[in-house]
Structure 1
Amino acid sequence: MSALLGPLGGSAPGLLLTGGEAVGRVAPVVGGVLGLGGVAVAALPARVRMRRELRRRWRTWALAAPVFLGPLFFGGAGATLLAAGLGLIAVTEYARMAPGGTAGAERQVLAAAAVVLPLLARLRPQWLDLRLMTVLLLAAALPALLSGDHTAGAARAARAVFGLLWIPLALTGLVLLGGTAVAVGVAVALGDVGAWCGGTALGRRGALARPLSPLSPNKTWAGVIGAAVATAGALAAVGAFTPALWVAVLAGCVLGDLLESMVKREAGVKDAGSWLPGFGGLLDRIDSLLVAVPLALVVTP
């Protein structure tokens, strides 16, 4: 990957920093947003229909922020552990959503990739090239080939390859982006909040209420405006704004949610899991990040 995309050190303006320095820069922004959000949800009157749900989401946000930022404080080693941990949980949720469940062999390939790819990005980034990608894609298809599955083998292989690209490979970018990963993660999180606020405030009627896609009728153009404002503000607040990085993060917020909606609709499920209060599963929380991170790699010099 690094051989294809060029040097990747997290070079957005203001973020030629170590992990600890980058986290130190964004921590006041995150803390301020969480504080204001906590006051806002605590002050909601009882008649507000989503009062309980919003409070559950805020509590999850308050716990998720240190879980995400804490490992990144320790630089590449922490980013590697974070990427591997998120990847293992996410591929497990993805495997459960596949029609009929993903076979054990494919699940093992995805789990191995979730650990190996971040480690290689940390220890041997020069190995992340087309040769390794070819090996990984063949490994994802190999279980269906060796089992002689002539009824659903092609679908199994395609799901495994998609899962490999969507989750382990994307999360590896948290290691390759360096300090910029911190800014991207914070901007994506605030972009999701901005999308909800924009959709709620502006998306009730008129042209802005039009859904982006039948895959997710609740995602409207009003939400895109809210996400655009929030992501721009977040990147500017942490000193990482560039037009290219903003477009990458905004595209991740918009397309990531639709991509997961497509997977869930095919699987016939509402959420990827049920263990994360207010959100469902981990994939429901990091779907935007899984698109924003590789796009940020493309635009980061």
Structure 2
Amino acid sequence: MSLAILVGETVGRAVPVVAGVLGAGGVAVAALPARVRMRAELRRRWRTWALAAPLFLGAFWAGPAGAFVLAAGLGAVAVGEYARMAALPRAERAVLWAAAVLLPAAAWAAPDTLDVRVVGGLLLVAALPALFSGDAAHGFTRAARTVFGLLWIPVSLTGLVLLGDTAVAVGVAVAFGDVGAWCGGTALGRRGPLARPLSALSPNKTWAGVLGSAAATASALAAVGAFTPLLWLAVLTGCVLGDLLESMVKREAGVKDAGTWLPGFGGLLDRIDSLLLALLVTMAVTL
């Protein structure tokens, strides 16, 4: 069975699930009374979800070419946000932007060429600008931040192309997991042992949120016919640790959000931080 057919089947199962949840969520958000403190914020988030969901699923409906366009587009924007936070010079930004397009392109056109040699070569290229700049004061920091950005964004997003139908399931499950974490934290994370934060990097992320995310990701994977314990653990790892990873980057950069253009979220990295890590872990355990 071809990859395009498999992806089409997964998208076909995901569309009614996502549409149903968006519809129910839209009704719930619209019915919120004015006294609810987060009403405006929740409405902005719902509108962003309502726009992002068809773009995500529609890209996969178009087949591998659509997955490439999605991965390259997300990568180009996310790399720009990361480069600003990491204060990377122009040469390092160029390396990351090139990787954001070329890696998904290789995954689409010649997936068999992506092996450890390619990854090793990319890591070397990421360090070259700092090596040849003669920057003894900050060269190592520049190289380390570029290598991290390469692994975190372009390599992770290549999974949207390489994973095929699994990428659809991961994307839907991560979206549900983020919502489940918020619901779990709101309902169960006010007091008691479940209110304990996972890390000082993000005090609002509690063990109650982990429980909510675990339930939501499992339900989403089951709904699209893709549940396995290994895939569930990979997605849950991304949902739990992905946000903390971005929080670490933002705290060192001294910023609250990666951007300001995405209503209800901030920047693109604030929306896809969990997806990036989930894709990377999924590739590690399935490919």
Give the gaps of 5 or more residues in structure 1. Answer: 1-8, 11-15
CA distance in 2: counterparts of 1:17 and 1:177, whole angstroms: 14
1:4 aligned residue: none
2:210 aligned residue: 224
1:256 aligned residue: 242
Task: Tell me which stretches of 4 or more aligned residues in structure 1 moved more than 4 Å.
Answer: none
Larger helix proportion of the pair = 2
CA distance in 1: counterparts of 2:52 and 2:65, whole angstroms: 19
2:109 aligned residue: 123
Q: CA shift at 1:17, angstroms?
A: 4.5
CA distance in 2: counterparts of 1:299 and 1:134, whole angstroms: 20
Alignment map for 1:108-257 (pairs within 5 Å): 108-257=94-243
CA distance in 2: counterparts of 1:132 and 1:295, whole angstroms: 19
Q: CA shift at 1:20, angstroms?
A: 2.2
- TM-score when scaled to structure 2? 0.98
- Report Cα offsets for 1:224-275 as digits up to 9, x if no partner: 0000000000000111000000000001000000000000000000000000
Q: CA shift at 1:49, angstroms?
A: 0.4
1:268 aligns with 2:240: no
Q: Which moved more, 1:72-81 or 1:274-283?
A: 72-81
Equivalent pairs counted in the alignment come to: 286
1:62 aligns with 2:43: no
Q: Which of residues 68, 78, 97 is equivalent to 1:80?
A: 68
Q: CA shift at 1:19, angstroms?
A: 2.3
- Report Cα offsets for 1:62-86 as digits up to 9, x if no partner: 0010111111111211111110000
2:267 aligned residue: 281
- TM-score when scaled to structure 1? 0.93
1:23 aligned residue: 11
Between 1 and 2, higher relative CO (CA 8 Å, sep ≥ 6) is seen in 1
2:40 aligned residue: 52
| CA root-mean-square deviation | 1.2
Q: Which amino acid aligns with 2:247?
A: S
Q: CA shift at 1:50, angstroms?
A: 0.3
Q: CA shift at 1:18, angstroms?
A: 2.7
Percent of matched pairs sharing the same residue = 75
1:38 aligned residue: 26
1:97 aligns with 2:97: no
- Report Cα offsets for 1:110-163 as digits up to 9, x if no partner: 000000000111111111112111110111100011110000000000000000
CA distance in 2: counterparts of 1:137 and 1:269, whole angstroms: 27
For residue 205 of structure 2, give the secondary structure of its aligned residue in structure 1.
Answer: coil
Equivalent pair of 1:212/1:220 in contact (CA under 8 Å) = yes
